[in-house]
Amino acid sequence: MSQQRLDVRDLPKSAKHPRIFELFDALPPAQSFVLINNQEPRHLRAEFDTDHHGEFGWRYLERGPDRWQIEITRLAATPTPQIMCDTRQVTAAAQVTEAAGAVWKLPMSRRDLDANIIHLQASSKIDPHAGPDLDVLVHVLQGNGELITEAGTLTLQPGSLLWLPRRSRREIVAGHQGLTYLTIHPRRPGMTIQAAQPPQSEQPGANIEPHGGAQAAGPT
């Protein structure tokens, strides 16, 4: 059987990657196709590395300058498991750089879960808010703090595993050591968090916004 060839030079830019992944998804294991493009597909390679880690082969047949040909091979019939990061290194880096908010997130575009590592600096907090319409699992990695709920206050320390029920009201306060934790929840694009009453504190620089923005990610 002759090898398939996919020439995307005349396709609109927005249609190139979907067409390429459509063909890749249809390949049986050990089969390949030749991609033809008018420039080196660096962004495409990055997408393959993120979404299909360990599942593909990538071999240049022609390297420009006007035409690029790459043989792309499917190596596995199913998505392959992988180690995403060392959480000890992520938490240590957050402490050194004094980062705040989401310091790591699950990068795959094809996924059913969202996951983030959140770091709160010492004595900072996520103000009282009502969570979204989904359950969230939280694992404390480092530091200390409190989770304040309608029913009382829970002490947070490394190893604590928390379940945040959907729509529950909560406030997270970091202790003197700061607080770093992993959140895992079903993926929900465009998710927002509703503010609870009373209004958020107006102390400048003391709080981490519970939704959107550059400092925080995920429904905590």
Assess if CATH 2.60.120.10 describes domain 87-199.
yes
Span 74-93, pLDDT tens digits? 999 999 999 999 999 999 99
Span 148-199, pLDDT tens digits? 999 999 999 999 999 999 999 999 999 999 999 999 999 976 544 444 444 3
* Nearest one of 121, 87, 88 to 106, comparing CA atoms: 87
Class for domain 4-74, per CATH? alpha beta
Break the chain into its structural domains and give their ranges.
4-74, 87-199
> What pTM was estimated for this model as a whole?
0.78
Residue 165's φ and ψ, nearest 5 degrees, are -65, 155
CA distances from 173 to 53, 97, 114, 182 (A): 37, 20, 22, 15
CA distance 149 to 151: 5
